[in-house]
Structure 1
């Protein structure tokens, strides 16, 4: 899988005058566009579109400093229809305009060309199971929060802390299937998951109930899920939970190309020990068998 992903990334280097064609890249990678975008974002820590933008502006920066072509020629070569659009993008990445870079020889930013390699880190076995589920609903309160790839998501934490015990009991009572209990449900609003972009986040239950007063309802179609369990001390949260996503996309999917992600909610179940020092968690990711 990683070898095919690297071949797909070569298109970024040779098609600089065209908008990023994620569908064409997905065909090279022999996967779906959704899975390509999700895999890239998880492995690279930035959305595919952001990487393409930064690579093109890196290449454009060297040409601007070289000074052998006009700014309009450089802009068109790297997919911009006008010098104004090119200048805005250039300034956003490099902190100065193309004209200033050409006149002063200022220091510019650089986005290296990415290539993914599979490395072995330790000898721990990664566990998973495949689950087929029929149609169900997520019922519970919802908030729109920013994406945080590493570290605390204070907006999400504030939302969860704002739910009183009575409301959490009502949510738990709605649960009538796996994964049981009160879940953290992440529903992306678009294909790219850039740091700071927003997602819909639910504290809800997987249920067959039609809904509940004062709560939101998210309909989930029948499908297949890969489930990743983990356990450990609470003191390691949230990094240990965030590593679930990193391990899933950095280890499991590359080693299991027969499965790929599909659009849908990702479910996180966390159960704490009685003394509150340890926790067991499960990450549910919607997939399809290729």
Structure 2
């Protein structure tokens, strides 16, 4: 399945379940992706989070129902996932600019239409990339587990990086690292292929050089052999990273013979991410489209 079709199937699933409890992992499965990876790509492409989309679509539909029917406010609140009329009224008023009662009395409502993925004429972007085929290798990492069915943003991941930099974890990783795979870069990676149904682990690490590990908060993970497309990302973070990801998702993969398989590394050479000439790499594991 190509990336565009997968995103559309995921959006269709959301739309079909707006009055149900929505499990983020189930959405991501429609795109053959992990919850973390799908939420991040969705945010890059759309400019708002998956959670924002779900909330605003529900409030949009709730506004239309209140304006066009005799439904009670409490029934609409419960239908769209709010535990109390008060919490519904607060969210409703923030979005529409009018309370549910005011809307029932004729106040205007806002409309937020459903997303539809379309292939549009775009491109003209020049971006260097290279193909790398790597045999299986070991990664030395510090992991942190995040609940799968929660809204994930760059804030959580950025906070984990800041924590590892402050407490000396990155310095410890460097002591065990070699430069065979990623050079001297430190990498971020999501391990969607391990863990239980409720969590996914995100790791910060480096290619493992083989020295005996005496720091018990670090672990070694075996990465299977893969082919990667490697993109260079130049500029101040996180803007340059988001721009590169948008290109990868909206221009490269829709027209490429390859598709992502869910494993991705972000390779950073230093913490100097505010430098306008900062250069890092995004490694995306791929396979040929069937």
Q: What is the TM-score when the length of structure 1 is the normalising length?
A: 0.66
2:154 to 114, 125, 148: 148
Q: State whether residues 266 and 280 of structure 2, in contact with CA within 8 Å, keep that contact through their aligned partners in structure 1.
A: no
How far has the Cα of 1:207 moved from its partner? Answer: 1.0
Q: What CA deviation, in whole Å up to 9, does each residue of 1:113-169 have, x standing for no partner?
A: 22334442434144241433314123469899x8438xxx974675476477x9748
Q: Structure 2 stretches of 5 or more lacking a match?
A: 147-151, 193-199
- Partner residue, 1:61: 63
- Partner residue, 2:195: none
Q: 1:19 to 1:181 in 2, by over 3 A?
A: same
- Partner residue, 2:42: 40
What is the rounded CA distance, in whole Å, between the counterparts of 2:215 and 2:27 in structure 1?
A: 45
Is the partner of 2:268 in helix, strand or coil? strand
Question: Are 1:253 and 2:253 an aligned pair?
Answer: yes
- Partner residue, 1:205: 206
Q: What CA deviation, in whole Å up to 9, does each residue of 1:228-268 have, x standing for no partner?
A: 23264x5x444223323222222222223642332x56332
Q: What CA deviation, in whole Å up to 9, does each residue of 1:50-106 have, x standing for no partner?
A: 423321221111212335222354346x454xx635653553354389644446656
Q: 1:93 to 1:32 in 2, by over 3 A?
A: farther
Is the partner of 1:242 in helix, strand or coil? helix
How far has the Cα of 1:7 moved from its partner? Answer: 5.7
Q: State whether residues 137 and 207 of structure 1, in contact with CA within 8 Å, keep that contact through their aligned partners in structure 2.
A: yes
Question: Are 1:184 and 2:187 an aligned pair?
Answer: yes
Q: State whether residues 57 and 93 of structure 1, in contact with CA within 8 Å, keep that contact through their aligned partners in structure 2.
A: yes
- Partner residue, 1:195: none
Moved over 6 A (4+): 21-27, 141-144
Q: 1:8 to 1:248 in 2, by over 3 A?
A: same
What is the rounded CA distance, in whole Å, between the counterparts of 2:121 and 2:244 in structure 1?
A: 17
Q: Structure 1 stretches of 5 or more lacking a match?
A: 190-197
How far has the Cα of 1:107 moved from its partner? Answer: 6.2
Q: 1:216 to 1:89 in 2, by over 3 A?
A: farther
Q: State whether residues 140 and 215 of structure 1, in contact with CA within 8 Å, keep that contact through their aligned partners in structure 2.
A: yes
What is the rounded CA distance, in whole Å, between the counterparts of 2:64 and 2:131 in structure 1?
A: 48
Q: Please tell me the root mean square deviation across aligned C-alpha atoms, in Å.
A: 4.6
